[in-house]
Amino acid sequence: MQQHRRPTDRRVLVVGLGRFGSSLALELIERGWEVLGVDSNPRLVQTYADALTHTVIADATDEEALRQVGASQFQRAVVAIGSHLEESILTTSQLVDMGVSTIWAKATSRRHGRILEQVGAHHVVLPEHDMGERVAHLLSGRMLDYVELEEGFSLGKTKAPRALVGRTLRETRVRQRYGVTVVSVKRMGGEFTYATQETVLNKGDVIVVAGRTDDVERFSESA
């Protein structure tokens, strides 16, 4: 059986130490990664100099500057420059040309994200856009939490509907009736566990369901 192994090279280059980049860099440090933080703003570099493994003042749009900080030696990089579209795209393109094998890039719009993908970014994130969508779903419905895995498919956390309480999931035919799958259950005062067809839902249980976003929303409204 193939085992999942932690990456042996636990170094990452983070370009841009604004709110997104600095939060990500500090979290990686907490998880035991070595982080090289790069920003053209001396104040930001000084702010995080003691917290990160290394910090450098550099213009990441300058290919020679990136080479001097050793960007080509990294397998993983994050381009966290979101507010300056041209700088974001140019930096991503430079890292692609240097052969960085995994590049995450922050985008401020879907159009920005498409351009980043076109120049070679392997993963694009839209933190403000995604958070806005998530909060909208939580405010407008009865879900306790919501995560969109990809466009049109989501996970939703909600309370077990009364109509399903006291019967096994097989008996309730949740998938056939609602178009969603119950993937885990949390009993009152307990922890989340995997759900099976023989799981019986109790009053007060919190469940996580997966399915098309519209179906997940409709199901949560029945809770």
pLDDT number for residue 145: 85
The string of pLDDT tens digits covering residues 149-186 is: 777 888 989 999 988 999 999 999 999 999 999 999 99
Is the Cβ–Cβ distance between 25 and 39 less than 8 Å? Answer: no
Distance CA 95, CA 207 (A): 42
Q: Helix, strand, or coil here: 101?
A: coil
Fold agreement between 11-125 and 130-221: no
Residue 2 has pLDDT above 50, yes or no: no
**Range name among 93-102, 135-144, 162-171, 187-196 with the lowest pLDDT average:** 135-144
**Range name among 57-71, 89-103, 125-139, 205-219 with the lowest pLDDT average:** 125-139
Strand order in the sheet with 153-159: 145-150, 153-159, 206-212, 180-186, 192-194
Q: Are strands 180-186 and 192-194 parallel, antiparallel or unpaired?
A: antiparallel
CATH of domain 130-221: 3.30.70.1450
Strand pairing partners for 192?
A: 186
Per-chain mean pLDDT for the chain: 88
Distance CA 22, CA 10 (A): 17
Q: Are strands 76-79 and 102-106 parallel, antiparallel or unpaired?
A: parallel
The tokens of 48 are what? 């995080």
Structural domain boundaries in the chain: 11-125, 130-221
The tokens of 126 are what? 């839209």
The radius of gyration computed from the CA coordinates of the chain, to the nearest angstrom, equals: 22
Smallest Cα–Cα separation from 53: which of 34, 67, 66, 39?
Answer: 34
The domain at 11-125 falls in which architecture? 3-Layer(aba) Sandwich (3.40)
Is the Cβ–Cβ distance between 167 and 153 less than 8 Å? Answer: no
